[in-house]
Amino acid sequence: LASVSSNPSTNKKQNKGRTGECSLTLESPGSLTGLVLDPSPPLPSPLPSSYQRFTDCYKHFYQLQPEMTQRIYDKFISQLQTSVREEISEIKEEGNLEAVLNSLDKIVEEGKDHKEPAWRPSGIPEKDLCSAMAPYFLQQRDTLRRHVQKQEAKNKELADAVLAGRRQVEELQQQVQARQQAWQASVCSCLLSLWSLIGHQGSCRE
């Protein structure tokens, strides 16, 4: 847990040069998600050096009201802690730091199982770019090939349907021609029969 404190013995990093000192402590350095503020950290005891610098800035007031100066200093430290906690909470919410840090922890844990050396750039931009973009281009090539195969299959189905339609039309045309020829033959036969009948009747009258 990270806490804000005015005690230099428990802090890893300190913001000096201000009226009071505050810092963030990462108690579990092995975990990135350890950067969590204690919701209710205890109020630290005034640091002699920090309090001394504070009183040096307000010597006359300290000489007149030492107890009031102490209360003002304690109040200032308390408000500073609250302000830092609120700002860090806002940063965590805006940047979604909790999820990001959890994902980083997961990556670190997964990386421990990898025995092979990690990829490193060769120093040649063209080569590195090709190695990075090659999987993407290969994937796109396979995708395009699948689309082409599907389209070719559809085109073949359409071509087969067109050929079947043409064959059906040709068969219908042949049937129409055959029926037309049969009708013409029957008409001619009827006409010949009629003419022969008329000729026979004429010869009988004579």
* Domain segments of the chain as ranges: 8-112
State how far the Cα of 62 lies from the Cα of 182, in Å rounded to an integer: 132
Per-residue pLDDT at 5 = 40
Say what the pTM is: 0.31
| Per-residue pLDDT reduced to its tens digit, 4-54 | 344 444 443 333 333 343 344 444 444 444 444 444 444 455 456 788 888
2 DSSP β-pair partners: 37
Q: Write out the two tokens for 197.
A: 């009948």
Per-residue pLDDT at 2 = 37
Per-residue pLDDT at 37 = 42
Residue 61: Cβ within 10 Å count? 13
State how far the Cα of 34 lies from the Cα of 169, in Å rounded to an integer: 80
Question: In 3-state terms, what secondary structure has residue 21?
Answer: coil
Is the CB of residue 21 less than 8 Å from the CB of residue 46? no
Q: Write out the two tokens for 204.
A: 């009988």
Percent of the chain, pLDDT > 90?
Answer: 29
Per-residue pLDDT at 32 = 41
Per-residue pLDDT at 171 = 93
Per-residue pLDDT at 176 = 93
Per-residue pLDDT at 71 = 92
Mean pLDDT per 10-residue section of the chain, whose length is 206 residues: 39 39 41 44 56 88 90 92 92 84 87 74 79 84 95 94 93 92 86 76 62
Residue whose entry in the numeric block shows the structure tokens 């979604």: 96
Per-residue pLDDT at 80 = 92
